[in-house]
Structure 1
């Protein structure tokens, strides 16, 4: 599979079942989220708020194989142009460029939606995600030590951000 066989498009609620399954794989692997309760399609429906872009990556068989989503960063109006994001790839499709396709499209969609910054936190052990994010222009701004517990163990996360220069005028 190459990037040529992948396409990104805005996700829809109809994609929520596949997205939930992909999210749950990431949760099971214990390197992508502090969450431990499996998600359902209904749980993800609230993500589709009309303000925060969500991108689905589709393979040659028209299956959702990854996604990237933005979320509200904070309620204060001064942060209205900042979005948190996450990116998840179906386990069977990792290492094939899906994440890069998702993130490139998400960055473009975030610019069009008027956001001036994207940020996230990545488990320090998740080298694949950190490499992906560096490759699409994110910088590591620090480490949050003991940011949360997962399975009773304190975990550190790397804070990453990308300023979307096009919206800083």
Structure 2
């Protein structure tokens, strides 16, 4: 297993993994499957995306995106991390986050933030293990399938 910066050529594999997360309804409020063309928009030259490969196949990714448009927040990025179903529990998500830390630092980010569904115990465990703090809960943050969901706010 090894980490590297993602390229546009990885967009289809990233979309496949992301779509697993969408389908499971425990990691994102997104409900519509994404195509490679959607993922290609993430490659804006500012926000790093990393992938984890195992035997030449992408099994996990972590990405950053804009936190807020104000200049004061230019060094803060939102992040996401997803591992393919068959790769979970093997350290792929952890490897993706460790690689993202380096890539984000090189890109000038001093803080990463995200929101995690309260019931997503595996993700919360992973993020705590790589140094994230849980700093609050947004209650009734948004609806997913007509159900209000709470999210934990994390930062590092």
1:76 maps to 2:70: yes
Q: Counterparts of 1:91-130 in structure 2 under 5 Å? A: 91-130=85-124
Q: d(CA) in 1 for partners of 2:7 and 2:108? A: 20
Match of 1:134 in 2: 128
Q: Counterparts of 1:27-66 in structure 2 under 5 Å? A: 27-59=22-54, 61-66=55-60
Q: d(CA) in 2 for partners of 1:123 and 1:112? A: 29
Q: d(CA) in 1 for partners of 2:81 and 2:152? A: 15
Q: Deviations over 1:72-111 (max 9, x none)?
A: 0011111000000000000111111000000000011111
The alpha-carbon deviation at position 112 of structure 1 amounts to 1.0
TM-score, normalised on structure 1?
0.91
Match of 2:140 in 1: 146
The alpha-carbon deviation at position 156 of structure 1 amounts to 0.3
Unpaired runs of 5+ residues, structure 2, are none
Q: d(CA) in 2 for partners of 1:95 and 1:29? A: 16
Match of 1:87 in 2: 81
Match of 2:9 in 1: 14
Matched residue of 1:37: which SS?
Answer: coil
Unpaired runs of 5+ residues, structure 1, are 1-5, 163-169
Q: d(CA) in 2 for partners of 1:20 and 1:112? A: 25
Number of residue pairs the alignment of both structures matches: 156
